[in-house]
């Protein structure tokens, strides 16, 4: 399989987001099944796996550690710091914290949960307005010097924050939401990353499941499914946004591909240093996502998609206001 580079970090062109294996969609999954899925992903050529201490909290890192530490030499593991977490706490409910001492404590704890000696990519999960980004970058720089971290990343950070951090410690990758359904990074973020030689890791590349074509206004979201709190996933918004999926369905039929494969192939075609991390808990979805690597979109196809998308407004904000405020975009 071909590889892509995030800064100088070499990874598979698609990664695997592991968050949903432990929480967020209101379904409890069997650990052994999820471990088997991660092993299958490695067999299929995926080398890049994404987790965070806040996923659970803590349980997702433990699961990823069980699965991947025995095959450490075959994988690249990314995790994140940036929240104050307590066991049993609602993920992301704790306050932000990127104080240097806290970053170093999180690193030690994550290493133990992941059962590894070095974190390949250590992201700041959200920008902490109370801690200068130079101090954050400096703390990670210290961890890199100590051999506990290999590469530094940011998540949902704005262009100026990226520049300031990069001046202290080179940033290998920015992780932010990016898809045909959310294209705001094209305005400032992607040009900044290209200028600085930083890779881009889009999360929610399939619009949190909506760009698979498997959801509509009648889909029932359980009370523990975090999407039930998102304005874009209200029944009214899903009904309005169905036109978006229908448009992708026409192009998918032309390419003899699925809607999800078109959405991922579009992302892969944007830049050679973009590495989406679709998450799944199902083998057939993993296989479908990997099939996107074989979908070739010509310049004419990309123009057709862009023109079609520009005519369809997306209904609903991606997050409630209090969560959106935590981003630096």
Supply the range of the domain harboring residue 147: 4-206+271-295
pLDDT of 18 over the 70 cut: yes
Residue 232 maps to a domain: no
Its pTM stands at: 0.95
pLDDT digits (tens, 9 = 90+) for 167-220: 999 999 999 999 999 999 999 999 999 999 999 999 999 999 999 999 999 999
* Phi-psi domain of 248 (left: phi exceeds 0; alpha: psi -120 through 50; beta: other): alpha
Residue 245 maps to a domain: no
- CA nearest neighbour of 137 among 127, 111, 92: 127
Mean pLDDT of 241-269: 96
Residue 319 maps to a domain: no
Residue 131 maps to a domain: yes
Q: What pLDDT sits at residue 328?
A: 60
Residue 247 maps to a domain: no
CATH number where 143 lies: 3.20.20.100
Whether the upstream peptide bond of residue 203 has omega within 30° of 0, thus cis, is no
> How many folded domains does the chain comprise?
1
Residues acting as catalytic residues = 55
Question: What's the whole-number average pLDDT of the chain?
Answer: 94
- CA nearest neighbour of 181 among 105, 238, 108: 238
């Amino acid at each position: 399989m071909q590889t892509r580079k995030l800064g100088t970090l070499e990874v598979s062109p698609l990664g695997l987001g592991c968050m949903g294996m432990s929480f967020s969609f209101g379904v409890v999954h069997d650990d052994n099944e999820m471990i088997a899925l991660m092993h299958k992903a490695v067999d299929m050529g995926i080398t890049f796996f994404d987790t965070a201490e806040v996923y659970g909290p803590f349980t997702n890192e433990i699961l990823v550690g069980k699965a991947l530490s025995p095959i450490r030499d075959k994988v690249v593991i990314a995790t994140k710091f940036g929240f104050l977490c307590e066991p049993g706490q609602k993920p992301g409910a704790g306050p932000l914290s990127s104080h240097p001492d806290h970053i170093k404590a999180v690193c030690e704890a994550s290493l133990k949960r992941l059962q590894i000696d070095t974190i390949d990519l250590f992201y700041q999960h959200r920008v902490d307005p109370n801690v200068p980004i130079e101090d954050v970058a400096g703390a990670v720089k210290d961890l890199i010097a100590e051999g506990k971290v290999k590469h530094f990343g940011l998540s949902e950070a704005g262009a100026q924050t990226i520049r300031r951090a990069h001046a202290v410690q080179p940033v290998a990758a920015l992780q932010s939401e990016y898809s045909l359904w959310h294209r705001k990074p094209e305005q400032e973020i992607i040009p900044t990353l290209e200028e600085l030689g930083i890779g881009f890791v889009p999360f929610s590349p399939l619009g949190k499941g909506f760009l698979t074509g498997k959801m509509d206004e009648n889909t029932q979201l359980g009370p523990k499914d975090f999407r039930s709190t998102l304005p874009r996933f209200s029944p009214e918004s899903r009904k309005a946004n169905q036109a978006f999926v229908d448009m992708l369905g026409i192009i998918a039929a032309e390419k003899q591909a699925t809607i999800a494969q078109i959405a991922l192939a579009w992302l892969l075609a944007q830049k050679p240093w973009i590495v989406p991390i679709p998450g799944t808990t199902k083998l057939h979805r993993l296989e479908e996502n990997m099939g996107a690597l074989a979908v070739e979109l010509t310049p004419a196809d990309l123009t057709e998609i862009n023109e079609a998308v520009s005519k369809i407004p997306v209904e609903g904000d991606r997050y409630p206001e209090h969560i959106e405020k935590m981003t630096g975009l």
